Amino acid sequence: METWTLLQALPPVVDPPGAEYAVLVPLYTDNQGDVRVVLTRRPDHMPTHPGDIVFPGGHREDGEEPIATATREAWEEIGLPPQNILEIFGGLEPVTTRDRTKPIVPVVARIARPDEFVADPREVDVIIEPTIAELMDDSRWALRDWFGHDLWFFEFPEGILWGATAFMMRELLDHLRSDD
């Protein structure tokens, strides 16, 4: 089954109590017909999660719904115009990092990739655009113990995808494998 059809079955975006953060999981089809996802590497000077590979996203502003937060943050961090968000498919399971009381809400969207992404250097060191096929290659993933927890790791030349973002990515990939 085609990627976009499978994503239609995602559950709606949720807004759990305490959710102060939302991320956009932006997907697009490149010129070769491959579906790609947009990730960023946080600069090493960031006070939280320095150098981590993450989805564009961040803190909710007063009264914002998760979709609005994810859309705004993608515009601020990578220059993804709101009108380039073609379709919101739904959400993945909210996840937490070290603070278990503040879930991060992932919003999965199909985008029209702009001619050029513009990274905000305060929040984005580099933009990474792997194909879903690359990410589906389980031989590239490693499950490792991290302080008593089994976490997934995926290495890019630019850095390592792990933690909450890797958890979200694995859930997305599992959803896309549902047609196997």
Structural domains in the chain (count): 1
Categorize the per-residue pLDDT at 56 as very low, low, confident or very high, splitting at 50, 70 and 90. very high
Q: List, for residues 110-127, the tens digit of each pLDDT value.
A: 999 999 999 999 999 999
| pLDDT digit string, tens, across residues 88-110 | 999 999 998 766 668 999 999 99
Kindly report the CATH number assigned to the domain that includes residue 117. 3.90.79.10
Q: Report pLDDT digits (tens) over 148-167.
A: 878 899 999 999 999 899 99
Give the per-residue pLDDT at 3: 92
For the cut 90, the answer to whether the pLDDT of residue 81 exceeds it is yes
What per-residue confidence (pLDDT) applies to 1?
63
Q: Which residues form the domain of 8?
A: 3-179
CA trace torsion 90, 173, 117, 102 (10° rounding) = 60
Provide the pLDDT for residue 49: 74
Enter the pTM of the model: 0.94
Strands 85-91, 159-162: pairing is unpaired
